[in-house]
Amino acid sequence: MKSAKTLVFLFVAVALSALPLSAATTGHFERTLQVNGPVDLEVMSGSGNITVHAGGSGSVNVSAKIHANNGTSWLFGSGNVDERIHRIEQNPPVVQNGNSITIGKIEDRDLTRNISIDYDVTVPAQTHVNSHSGSGDLSISGLQSPAIAKTGSGNVTVDHVSAEVRASSGSGDLKISTTKGVLYCDTGSGNIHADDITGDVFANTGSGNIEVRQTGGGSVKAETGSGNVKLYGVKGGLRASAGSGDIHAEGEPTSDWQLGAGSGNITLRVPNQASFNIDARTSSGSLKVNHPVTMQGSLSHNHIHGKVGNGGVLLDVHTGSGDIEVD
């Protein structure tokens, strides 16, 4: 019996290795759609990459690459991939209703079995984009309207969007740069890097690092289950937490700051002339506040409660096991 199984395995391995390189089949289609005014675009892919970027006004250009590997179709019954790719080429999933456009919506799941479609879409700058992929990378750039980018597993890149951005991934990194508007970032496992952000920021990752650099002010909420948090240029309220990792924040607290780490160090950098109330505590670690503090209550080596300058907004800082420094 063991010899029979071995022979079957060898037969399959030899058969697979003998498949021609041409077994990887591809297809392609392009469409140009005329529009007049702001565009509402939804683009989706079951498994594939999506790129949306700004071009000239008056038209939406769609370029799609269809790809699959039908080399194992005879083993697993995936059907005739060549035929199905040809059907997609002949009847592309592109629907236009005025300035509302839907790309990639395919009701027949059998048609796209073992097939991926990558979309590259050029749109007017005033386009509201809603993009989502089951597994693939998403990229959006150069828009003046809100953008949504959501993928089950893949990376998301967004840059130069002067409106609200919502970026999320089940497992993947998020890279956002040069946006104006509220930014929402969420990933199950991955890093979040946001640079040159104007507006409020909401960032959350189950496991990964968060780094945010604001240039136009705005409140920040940043949470990670396991990873470090680095925040720069915060001018507003702040809530930051790390289950296991360090927190570093720089900026001007114009509203309350609340920072908490399960096991990690917390470092804050605020202006020398800042006035605020402070409540800083650590279970096992050192406390250092490089500002004159008027203490309230009894003095403790692991708890500082008082005010700096004339007092004001509250800096509530705590860590389970780590050091705290306010400079």
The whole-number average pLDDT for the span 124-140 is 98
Last residue of a domain, one of 129, 162, 190: 129
**Helices marked H in the chain — which ranges?**
2-17, 73-76, 81-90
Q: What band does 216 get if pLDDT is binned at 50, 70 and 90?
A: confident
> Does 272 fall in a domain?
yes
Three-class HEC string of 81-121: HHHHHHHHHHCCCEEEECCEEEECCCCCHHHHCCEEEEEEE
Residue range 270-324, pLDDT digits in tens: 999 999 999 999 999 999 999 998 888 766 788 999 999 999 999 999 999 999 9
* Residue 24 predicted with pLDDT over 70: no
Helix or strand holding residue 227 (H, E):
none
124 in Cβ contact with 142 (< 8 Å): no
* Average pLDDT value for the chain: 90
CA 282 to CA 323: how far, in whole Å? 7
Residues 68 and 196 in one domain: no
- What is the count of structural domains for the chain? 2
Residues 115 and 195 in one domain: no
* Residue 74 predicted with pLDDT over 50: no
> Does 78 fall in a domain?
yes
Pairing mode, if any, of strands 24-34 and 59-69?
A: antiparallel
> Does 228 fall in a domain?
yes
Residues 177 and 272 in one domain: yes
Residue range 153-200, pLDDT digits in tens: 999 999 999 999 999 999 999 999 999 999 999 999 999 999 999 999
> Does 121 fall in a domain?
yes
Last residue of a domain, one of 129, 160, 193: 129
Helices (H) and strands (E) counted in the chain, each on its own, are 3, 27
Residues 104 and 177 in one domain: no
Residues 314 and 209 in one domain: yes
Domain housing 81: 22-129
At 68 the pLDDT is 87
Last residue of a domain, one of 70, 96, 129: 129
235 in Cβ contact with 249 (< 8 Å): no
In order of 58, 59, 93, the CA distances from 39 in angstroms are 10, 9, 18
> Does 54 fall in a domain?
yes
The whole-number average pLDDT for the span 72-80 is 51
The residue behind tokens 């700004």 is 54
